[in-house]
Amino acid sequence: MSTHRSRIHPNYKTCYRVTNWPEYDRGLVQRGSLTFWIAPEALDAWKPAPSGKRGGQRRYSDFAIRTAHVLRLRFGLTLRETEGFVRSLFELMGLELEVPDHTTLSRRLRELDIPLPAKARRAPLHLVLDSTGLSIFGEGQWAQAKHGKRGKRGSRKLHLGVSDSGETLAQVVTDASVDDALVGVRIVDHVQGELASVTADGAYDTHEFYDAARTRKADVIVPPISSAIPDERKRPRNPERDAAVRLVEAIGRREWKRTSGYGRQGAAENAFFRFKTMVGPALRSRDDDNRQAEARVGCVMLNRMREIAWPESVAIPA
């Protein structure tokens, strides 16, 4: 057995204790309750009010379509299964409400206005950004399933902006080749409220990203790329980045991450873990607009799950 000790990872692991276990336990149970996902306000708003316009009126409100898609993602259903699932629920509940068919669910998904409501905060927000890949069912998978041929796997990239407490504040789905920093600029501009800091990995180490954070008067916590050098001009474009580069050279990258607050990056990684575990590692829709809406519904669902069950933990002294 080798006695070599890692120079990167510490030889200890911090243990935590959940301080709100009774409430957290009840919330985890409630996540599986159908009555929680079909709230009374959803049933009251199932049929839309008359639009006042000429022509045929819609039979289902946007709230109804969104509720059906939340059930679809929460319980891993296809569109046709979702139609039958909601219909059987209404029969068991004794409700005489019409259920949208699977084609209506697919067509209306791209038209939904799906906000990501954020809680009111008194203190400035610590924003964390990151991205991950999600598989899509594209032409390559279809050719393999239909003809046994080897096709090129398709994927999309999910970008998230989350708070340091794990709440999803912004979401964007792009092609896999889109630059993370460019999307990060859009997210920083989009998030409402005062920002205290913006944390991201080395893919966001660009001048544009620093400029966007400076506009919001937020500190940037981004590890400089390994080849970064300070700007020695009299008027450097990004003095904050130059200071980070010099500090990394002085104390080392690992110590910089420990002292700068870069550990908040774990909030985004945890958000992706929850998304891929509870929503899935792939986008099921075939259209890009639907994929965007599908991912947003998944983020809304995760935020709601976080509201009812979230552990409050403290470190146990060694």
Instruction: Flag whether pLDDT at 204 surpasses 90.
Output: yes
* pLDDT for position 123: 84
Instruction: Flag whether pLDDT at 35 surpasses 50.
Output: yes
Predicted confidence band of residue 34 (pLDDT cuts 50, 70, 90): confident
Q: Which amino acid is at 237?
A: R
Please give the radius of gyration of the chain, using alpha carbons only, rounded to the nearest integer: 23
Q: What is the pLDDT of residues 211-231, one digit of tens each?
A: 999 999 999 999 999 888 888
Instruction: Flag whether pLDDT at 45 surpasses 80.
Output: yes
Better pLDDT: 74 or 49:
74
The Cα 275–Cα 170 span in angstroms is 14
* pLDDT for position 55: 73
Q: What angle do CA 6, 7, 9 make, to 5 degrees?
A: 65
* pLDDT for position 318: 64
* pLDDT for position 9: 55
The Cα 283–Cα 158 span in angstroms is 10
Instruction: Flag whether pLDDT at 84 surpasses 90.
Output: yes
3-class DSSP assignment, residue 16: strand
- Mean pLDDT score, 243-270: 92
Chain centroid, CA 196 distance in Å: 20
The Cα 48–Cα 58 span in angstroms is 7
Task: Report which secondary-structure segment, H or E, holds 305.
Answer: helix 288-308
Do residues 311 and 165 make contact, with C-beta atoms less than 8 angstroms apart?
Answer: no
- Mean pLDDT score, 42-70: 85
Q: Which domains does the chain have, with CATH numbers?
A: 14-113+287-318 (no CATH), 125-283 (3.30.420)
Q: What is the pLDDT of residues 168-178, one digit of tens each?
A: 999 999 999 99
Phi, psi for 221 (deg, rounded to 5)? -120, 85
Instruction: Flag whether pLDDT at 31 surpasses 80.
Output: yes
* pLDDT for position 317: 77
* pLDDT for position 122: 79
Instruction: Flag whether pLDDT at 268 surpasses 50.
Output: yes
* pLDDT for position 313: 84
DSSP labels, 107-154: HHHTT----------SSPEEEEEEEEEEEE--HHHHHHHHH----PPE
pLDDT, mean over the chain: 87
* pLDDT for position 1: 42
The Cα 60–Cα 66 span in angstroms is 10
261: region left, alpha or beta (phi > 0 left; psi from -120 to 50 alpha) = left
- DSSP secondary-structure letter at 223? P
* pLDDT for position 39: 76
In sequence order, what are the residues at sequence separation of 6 or more whose Cβ sits closer than 8 angstroms to the Cβ of residue 31?
305, 308, 309
The Cα 106–Cα 65 span in angstroms is 9
Do residues 105 and 73 make contact, with C-beta atoms less than 8 angstroms apart?
Answer: no
Q: What angle do CA 239, 242, 244 make, to 5 degrees?
A: 115
Instruction: Flag whether pLDDT at 163 surpasses 80.
Output: yes
Q: What is the pLDDT of residues 120-154, one digit of tens each?
A: 677 899 999 999 999 987 555 555 555 555 555 67
Q: At what angle do helices 253-260 and 239-251 cross, to 10 degrees?
A: 120
Cross-strand bridge partners of residue 198:
127, 220
* pLDDT for position 144: 55
Name the residue with tokens 């981004």. 222
| CB-count exposure of residue 136 (10 Å: 0-12, 13-18, 19+) | buried
The Cα 114–Cα 282 span in angstroms is 20
**In terms of residues, how long is the chain?**
318
